[in-house]
A and B are shown apart, each in its own frame.
Chain A
Amino acid sequence: MTHTDEQRLLHQARQGDETSAAAYGELVRRYQTAVFNTAYRLLGRRVEAEDAAQEAFLRAYQALDRFDMERPFAPWIKRITTNLCLNWLESDRVKPQLLAAEMGRDDEPVSMDDWAQAAPSPEQTLVRQEQATRLHEAIWALPPHFRAAIELRHFQELSYEEMAEVLERPLSSVKSDLFRARKLLAEKMKES
């Protein structure tokens, strides 16, 4: 989807007529995997991540009037998702996931088959699966603000200043969170 196509859909979605929902549905289809993955990295549970992604899209639809149409939609919806997930984590609506063994059937983490679908070649599948699982578990073991710092910097590629704006925290705190989160992750990865 080109930026022009995206803008056309956004304008259509904002009009509030009978075609709005369909146009917005097209945008949802385009970005739902990325938004779901953002939520999944933060929440650590598939079911909750799907719920969060869905709610994030609804909140974004509500706020479309305030969205600058010249900007790309993906970073905006991901930021909404990040804040939503952080709110859920802070309000204990979603319990942090520490160990896969603690989870029930509905909250199972990514299975090997899931990762296999995302892996580029069969030869690398096993190594990538193990590494991805370890890294995800290490991320989920971090406190929520550390997780958010990793998400915003490494997956959404925001600057320190942008991160501080999204998280509504002082720049020094955000940098401190990010550096400490990386250190913890590096130690975890080294241990395993």
Chain B
Amino acid sequence: MADFQLPNYSVTQLLNYMLMKEFNEDYLHEYLDGTLDDETRRAVEAHLARSPEARAQLAELQALFASLEALPELPLGTDLSVAVVTAIGQGTATSTTLSAGVARPLPRWVWGLLLGQVVMAIVLLGRVWSALVDWWGTGQAIATDWLATVQMSLLGWVNEFWLGVTAVWQQPNLPTLSIDLPTAQWALLFGLALVVWLAGNRLLFTSD
């Protein structure tokens, strides 16, 4: 019987023997990786000699190792150095945080959307250009009037709102917001909002 030889083992060998009594497959991985100390390696080898199941597991792992080692490299279809050198030349690789967009241009639909926005902005600004010039010509007075109108409208609305809330606390009767502005000034307001929107989109698309 194999157990009969135990008294000849060193303490470490005995411990290893006991360890192998509850054999863990992890030992096979470490055995193949060559990371076991001599004593444990010998204990694993002894276990392998006794256990056909462990030998089968080892053979399976060895076959996997061989397959991984034999995995051929896929040829690269394009020369990446051109794009890398170009990006370096443009200074994109020296930024603190390299944008992921450096390697990948934005999708075409984004560029289409931006183009559409630019066209719309130009058309709208063209539409309100004459009003803009007029407004510039009349100067401070019209601006003051305009701001006063907006301010009074807003103050009036807030006042009515507050009265509505306090009068009928449970079911407030909300007034309708009404700002009385000429059509051209509405268009100007819309054009400015569009510029803000475009600037916001630009920030959105360039941040990653």
Q: Name the one of B64, B74, B88 contacting A185, with C-beta atoms under 8 angstroms.
A: B64
Q: Which of B74, B83, B85, B88 contacts A40 (CB 8 A)?
A: B74
Which interface class (under 10, 10 to 19, 20 to 34, 35 or more) fits A? 35 or more
A25 at the interface (CB under 8 A from B): yes
List chain A residues, Cβ under 8 A from B88: 20-21, 24, 58, 61
Across the interface, A55 reaches (CB within 8 A) one of B65, B69, B89, B100, namely B100
Chain A residues whose CB sits within 8 angstroms of the CB of B139 once the complex forms: none
Instruction: Flag A21-38 by CB within 8 Å of B: 1 or 0 each.
Output: 110111011001110110
| B-binding segment of A67-75, A96-104, A128-136, A140-148 | A128-136
Residue of B with least CB distance to A187? B60
Question: A179 and B80: CB pair below 8 A?
Answer: no
Question: Please, what's the 1-or-0 string for B149-191, where 1 marks a CB less than 8 Å from any CB in chain A?
Answer: 0000000000000000000000000000000000000000000
Given contacts A154-B65, A178-B29, A179-B25, contact A58 B102 (CB under 8 A): yes
Instruction: Please state if B63 and A189 are interface contacts (CB–CB under 8 Å).
Output: yes
Is B75 within 8 A of A22, CB to CB?
Answer: no
CA distance A153 to B69 in the complex (A): 11
From A21, A132, A153, A175, name the one whose CB has the most chain B CB atoms within 10 angstroms.
A21
Could you tell me if A61 and B93 are in contact, using CB atoms closer than 8 angstroms?
A: yes
Are B61 and A186 in touch, CB under 8 angstroms?
Answer: yes
Q: Roughly how many angstroms separate A37 CA and B74 CA in the complex, as a whole number?
A: 6
- Nearest-CB distance from A154 to chain B (Å)? 5
Given known pairs A22-B85, A189-B67, the reply for A50 and B73 (CB within 8 Å) is no
Q: Which residues of A contact B63 (CB under 8 A)?
A: 186, 189
Q: Are A179 and B35 CB-contacts (below 8 A) given A61-B84, A117-B75? A: no
A58–B92 CB distance below 8 A? yes
By a CB distance below 8 angstroms, the chain B residues around A22 are 85
Q: Do the beta carbons of B74 and A118 come within 8 Å of each other?
A: yes
Min CB gap B74→A, angstroms: 5
Q: Return the chain B residue nearest A28 by Cβ.
A: B81
A24 near B84: Cβ-Cβ < 8 Å? yes
Contact A110 B74 (CB under 8 A): yes
B74 and A36 contact, CB distance less than 8 A: yes
A11 at the B interface (CB under 8 A): no
Tell whether B79 is near chain A: CB-to-CB under 8 Å. yes
Interface residues of B in 65-106 (CB under 8 A from A): 65, 67-85, 87-89, 92-94, 98, 100, 102-104
- How many Å from the CB of B62 to the closest CB on chain A? 10
Chain B residues lying within 8 Å of A175, measured Cβ to Cβ, are 26, 29
Question: Are B26 and A62 touching (Cβ within 8 A)?
Answer: no
Residues in B whose Cβ lies below 8 Å from that of A131? 67, 70
Query: In whole angstroms, how far apart are the Cα atoms of A159 and B34 in the complex?
Result: 10
Contacts of A110 in B (CB 8 A): 74
Cα A175 to Cα B60 with chains together (Å): 18
* Interface contact A186-B72, CB-CB below 8 Å: no
A79 to chain B, nearest CB (A): 17
What are 22 inter-chain pairs, A to B, with CB distance below 8 A? A22-B85, A28-B80, A29-B81, A33-B76, A34-B73, A36-B80, A40-B74, A46-B77, A50-B77, A50-B80, A51-B103, A55-B103, A57-B80, A62-B98, A118-B73, A128-B72, A131-B70, A135-B71, A154-B69, A160-B33, A182-B29, A183-B25
10 closest residue pairs by CB, A with B: A118-B72, A28-B81, A25-B85, A25-B81, A21-B88, A58-B93, A154-B68, A55-B103, A54-B103, A32-B80
